[in-house]
Structure 1
Amino acid sequence: MGPRRDPATPKASARGRAAGAKVVEALIDKVAGRYRALVVLGAGTGMRQGECFGLTIDRIDFLRRTLRVDRQLVLVPSQPAFLAPPKTSASHRTIPLPRVVVEEPAEHVRQFPITHPDGLVFTDDDGRALRRTAFSLLVWRPLVAGVGAPHGTGFHDLRHYFASLLIRHGESVKTVQTRLEHATAAETLDTYSHRWPDSDDRTREAVDQVLGPTTDRKERSGAEPDDLRSALGRAEVVDGVDELLARDGLGMCPGPPGNLRPDHRTWTDAKQRS
């Protein structure tokens, strides 16, 4: 008989197993055209499958690059699919869309015009709402097998991928909590604490940056104009996530980040200040 698991230790499935960047890139490259934007949306926003399935065209603001989540698609056996409020009250949110993500739904609706009476963005070949079981059997499982992804890789692993991407690039617990609409920061830490850098490593890095050799300090802190865009991407998660996604293989984002709101720093202003 094996050792008993400490009840305080989350099960492996609850600790945010994330699909790797190469797996996500392979999924996007291989998925059928009708579902490409769906996979990009899951990986680039952390939205749940039901929220993605229930996305309607009126919830996307292509100009401001935002997406409003206030509904999800609910499926009941032997009944038509219908829209209902999301999982929790914290799930009501407005998501900032990176450029690489917002371009995919725009291209999707151009190729596959909206025909569903509720305005659903993603439907099957017959224009009907996606059903979880059929999508899994006919689309997702063959896709996962086709790219050689680990057995059991699910759509929800795209959400974990998004979380791990933010953590890997220095976002705070509060930011990750907000993006994943967790009710509390404790929920975020319970799921993803194993992905944050070790405090010992942070201590070493902090001291090295200040007291290390002069050449090392200059390399770490002296951002040249060509590196400024990367620095700004770390400072603003809204304009930064598209950079991070691009670097992780979800697409290319040529050109500087846009000025989404008046309080955002524009590329031109940043260049002038440098």
Structure 2
Amino acid sequence: MVLLGAFAGLRVAEIAALRAEDVDFMRGVITPAIQYPGQDLKTEMSKTPIPIPAELAVLLNANPVRWGSATIVVGAFGRAVAPYTIETAFKAARVTVGGLPAGFRIHDLRHYFASLLIAAGLDVKTVQARLRHASAKTTLDTYGHMWPDRDESSRTAVSAAMMRTIREGEKALDG
């Protein structure tokens, strides 16, 4: 469940419902199709495939292989679990992890996913697609503060254009 939240950005209801058939383990792609309890996803955009690294695909395949389960996340006896069960297990486990803020929720793993994409330099449209937000506005409203300040790069771009214009003007006057 942690891997799906932190490295694929899935919502808890998507984590609970993710089936082995929704993951292309060979190509490294998750294509969410339903959310718990077998309902349609939040939006059409939520069906957007999510590329994942091969290492994550291997780890996600462990439960279906071990338990013969239809779902990726299973309980102690290899059966599918509800979002409430996932959240309860997460709360119990989080106290064993040092350094997490009080009240850290499973949904905060989705925020972690977004922040790691932004820190890696991905643009807003790519982050929107990976989070499967219906619009870039949602992505910017939620995570816009995380993109690096571009004051210096815009200052440099304007300076370069201004200096070209000045040089071209000087050449025209000389010639």
* TM-score using structure 2 length: 0.81
RMSD: 1.9
The 1:202–1:98 alpha-carbon spacing in structure 2 relative to 1, beyond 3 Å, is: farther
Alignment match, 1:103: 58
Alignment match, 1:24: none
Matching residue's letter, 1:42? G
Cα deviations across residues 224-267 of structure 1 (Å, max 9, x unaligned)? Answer: xxxxxxxxxxxxxxxxxxxxxxxxxxxxxxxxxxxxxxxxxxxx
The 1:206–1:121 alpha-carbon spacing in structure 2 relative to 1, beyond 3 Å, is: same
Could you tell me whether the CA contact under 8 Å between 1:114 and 1:121 is conserved in 2? no
Could you tell me whether the CA contact under 8 Å between 1:54 and 1:71 is conserved in 2? yes
Could you tell me whether the CA contact under 8 Å between 2:61 and 2:72 is conserved in 1? no
Matching residue's letter, 1:113? W
The 1:106–1:199 alpha-carbon spacing in structure 2 relative to 1, beyond 3 Å, is: same
What is the Cα deviation at residue 108 of structure 1?
3.1
Alignment match, 1:9: none
The alignment partner of 2:148 has SS state of coil
Q: Which of 93, 116, 120 lines up with 1:165 in the alignment? A: 116
Question: Gaps spanning 5+ residues in structure 1: where?
Answer: 1-37, 75-82, 208-274
What is the Cα deviation at residue 178 of structure 1?
0.6
Could you tell me whether the CA contact under 8 Å between 2:64 and 2:71 is conserved in 1? no
Q: Which of 114, 122, 139 lines up with 2:68 in the alignment? A: 114
Q: 2:86, 2:71 → 1: CA distance?
A: 15
Matching residue's letter, 2:115? S
Q: Which of 41, 48, 53 lines up with 1:93 in the alignment? A: 48
Q: Which of 102, 110, 125 lines up with 1:151 in the alignment? A: 102
Alignment match, 1:57: 20
Could you tell me whether the CA contact under 8 Å between 1:70 and 1:92 is conserved in 2? yes
What is the Cα deviation at residue 189 of structure 1?
0.4
What is the Cα deviation at residue 202 of structure 1?
3.5
What is the Cα deviation at residue 206 of structure 1?
7.0
Tell me whether 1:127 sits opposite 2:127 in the alignment.
no
Q: 2:112, 2:152 → 1: CA distance?
A: 22
Q: 2:39, 2:152 → 1: CA distance?
A: 45
Alignment match, 2:161: none
Could you tell me whether the CA contact under 8 Å between 1:44 and 1:98 is conserved in 2? no
Please identify the structure whose Cα radius of gyration is greater.
2
Counterparts of residues 37-52 of structure 1 (less than 5 Å): 38-52=1-15
Q: Percent identity?
A: 39
Q: Which of 139, 142, 146 lines up with 1:195 in the alignment? A: 146
Cα deviations across residues 119-176 of structure 1 (Å, max 9, x unaligned)? Answer: 2222212333212333333x21121111131111111111111111111111111001
Q: 1:70, 1:131 → 2: CA distance?
A: 16
Q: 1:162, 1:113 → 2: CA distance?
A: 28
The alignment partner of 1:69 has SS state of coil
